[in-house]
Amino acid sequence: MIAVLALLAGVLLGLWLDPTVPAALQPYLPIAVVAALDAVFGGVRAKLDRIFDDKQFVVSFISNVLVAALIVYLGDQLGVGGQLSTGVVVVLGVRIFGNVAAIRRHLFRA
Amino acid sequence: MSDEHTQTGTGWPQPAEPARPDGPAGEPDPRPEAPDPDELSPLSPQGHPSEEEEPSAAPDGSVSAEPAEAAAVVPPWRRLSSAAVMIVVLLGLLGFTLAVQLKMTTTDSSLAAARQEDLVRILYDLEAREIRLRQDIAALEESQRQLRSGEQGRQAALEEATRRADELGILAGTLPARGPGLTVRFQAGAKPISAVRVLDAVQELRGAGAEAMQISGGDRATVRIVASTYFLNGEGGSLIVDGRPLTGPFTITVLGDPATMRTALNIPGGVVASVAGDGGNVIVEEREVAEVSALHDPRPLEHARPVS
């Protein structure tokens, strides 16, 4: 419940403050968001599996975001930023799909 | 997994003691905001109300570390460990960035979200279009310049022609005219005013620079005096001017320099003197604005043709 509230509070804060993303961060923000979403879905799945561990969740969340941003940064430096970010999004998307499928199995037994 | 659970296990009894009322110094804020136990229960991962009861119901089933934790009866909000606080912060951050990113993408999705190749192509198209439009502008400006110069030339020619037509019209007597001038009034004495006297006056006025003249009789009949106007003596002191009979007294209205013309009329032995010699009288009045309104009907030219 607190997690959902925190998420909502963050969304409202973002809508209310309406900050402008600095140009240097613009390529990384979407990837970071997707990576964080992956971590969140993984956390939900772990919770449903009753193997949720908050420290692990925190570490995986932060490392996901950092690694994703690092990969995109590396790709930008190598000149393949667009392709590499696409690849990161694909991988994270596959993982999110897997997690969501596991959650669905838990919730609906199907 | 096991050491993490032991960590949380060590973390839990500590809040039970009054020595540690607060969590980590880094994130103190979410804790006082969330005192409700039912809010905590879904988040606090180790809370597991089901798990707390499960091991008690079924002794040491699958989970080994839980019963020890569940045994410690702690107020639920105290169980908010530093990791949970971290989770709250991170999720808040995620929501924040999500909202920001969504908003940014929706606000300028047209170009900011476009790919680089697309942007390059759009830029190229725009540049080509700009070049084309620039050429159009140059061509249109050129044609506008030509038209304007042509129009200016035509305008000048038209003004010149109008001016000449006015001059010639006044000279030929086909246009009314006004300006400074004189009225010369002939009053007959014992002898009527003869055509010779009037013709003398007209010649004198022409010599003094008269530009337009007309003669009117006593009955307001008026004739424009042009180059071809002739004067004949009529019956009973009348004049025949260009075939029209005029009765006296005659008035000549003339446009020109008033002083020069008055001097010309008043020279010794001139018009005024001659008429006075015949017993008549000539009254010369200067007019600031005299009006020559009678028109001469131009005769179509039968023989003369312009050379050019």
Nearest to A21 among B43, B91, B100 (CB): B100
Q: How far apart are CA B116 and CA B126, in angstroms?
A: 15
With cut-offs at 50, 70 and 90, classify the pLDDT of residue A1.
low
In SS3 terms, B47-115 reads as CCHHHHHHHHHCCCCCCCCHHHHHHCCCCHHHHCCHHHHHHHHHHHHHHHHHHHHHHHHHHCCCCCCCC
With cut-offs at 50, 70 and 90, classify the pLDDT of residue B64.
very low
Q: How far apart are CA A75 and CA A89, in angstroms?
A: 13
Task: Tell me: pLDDT of B59 over 80.
Answer: no
Of B25-34, B71-80, B214-223, give the range with the top mean pLDDT: B214-223
Q: How far apart are CA B188 and CA B239, in angstroms?
A: 12
Give the residue on A whose Cα is nearest the Cα of B65: A51
CA atoms within 13 A on the CB side of A97: 6
Q: Do A10 and B94 touch (CB under 8 A)?
A: yes
pLDDT of residue B78: 55
| Stated length of chain B | 308
Give the residue on A whose Cα is nearest the Cα of B36: A2
Give the residue on B whose Cα is nearest the Cα of A41: B91
Residue B91 makes CB contacts below 8 A (sequence gap 6+) with: A3, A6, A7, A10, A40
> CA of A62 to nearest chain B CA: how many angstroms apart?
8
Q: How far apart are CA B211 and CA B257, in angstroms?
A: 9
Residues 24-63 of A with CB under 8 A from B: 26, 29-30, 32-33, 36-37, 40, 43, 47, 50-58, 61-62
Q: Backbone phi, then psi, for B24, in 5-degree steps?
A: -65, 150
pLDDT of residue B37: 42
Interface pTM, i.e. ipTM: 0.78
Of the residues B51, B89, B97, B117, the best mutation for testing chain A's interface (the one with the most A CB atoms within 10 Å of its CB) is B97
Give the residue on B whose Cα is nearest the Cα of A80: B116
Q: Is any Cβ of chain B less than 8 angstroms from the Cβ of A3?
A: yes
Nearest to B43 among A2, A36, A61 (CB): A2
Q: Do A57 and B1 touch (CB under 8 A)?
A: no
Question: CB B98: neighbour CB atoms within 10 A?
Answer: 20
Residues 62-91 of A with CB under 8 A from B: 62, 82
Q: How far apart are CA B180 and CA B114, in angstroms?
A: 82
| Residue B170 contacts residue B291 (beta carbons within 8 Å) | no
pLDDT of A21-79, one tens digit each?
777 777 788 888 888 888 888 888 888 888 888 788 888 888 988 998 888 888 888 88
Question: CB B56: neighbour CB atoms within 10 A?
Answer: 12
